[in-house]
Amino acid sequence: MNKKFLKLELDLNFCLIAIISPLKDYRLCFLINKFLNTSYERTLQDYCINYLNKKAKYFSMFHYENINENDCYILANKGIEGYLIPEMKEIDYFMLLRNFCDSEELKFILSELKRINEIQIAVQINPSTLKSKENLIF
């Protein structure tokens, strides 16, 4: 009998920015909206990750769609039941920019984030290097 294998490739077509900040999620989004002239809003439902035989994990999520119809999200890394990306426990939030390829605009976003005094670190991360990258696919 022949065996067939199914190989899945994850769609990692997004930019990922890691943010360290002691602020609550709503306060962080308020400041990002102010400095970047965006309008991040909390989604109606938190982002949920379901594992087999384990309790579901929920993380706060904010969404913004810009003029170019790019979806932008801010996700909390810390939830009640654990971490979104467990190997990066020191990170508080992730900014996920879908269908986003403009390096000049990305540099601008990073520079504006660094201007916010309450943000200690804002750095771009390559999502393909993460062990838990599948948690960022939704």
Q: How far is CA 10 from CA 45, 86, 133, in A?
A: 24, 19, 9
Per residue in 78-107, pLDDT tens? 988 888 888 989 999 999 888 766 788 888
Q: What is the mean pLDDT of residues 37-63?
A: 85
Listed residue (94, 91, 108) closest to 29, CA to CA:
94
17 burial class (0-12, 13-18, 19+ CB within 10 angstroms)? buried
Question: Which pTM was predicted?
Answer: 0.83
Question: Tokens 């920019």 sit at which residue?
Answer: 97
pLDDT at 14 over 70: yes
Domains and CATH numbers, the chain: 14-44+54-125 (3.30.310)
20 token code pair: 């360290």
pLDDT at 18: 92
Q: How far apart are CA 72 and CA 37, in angstroms?
A: 13
Number of H helices, E strands in the chain: 2, 8
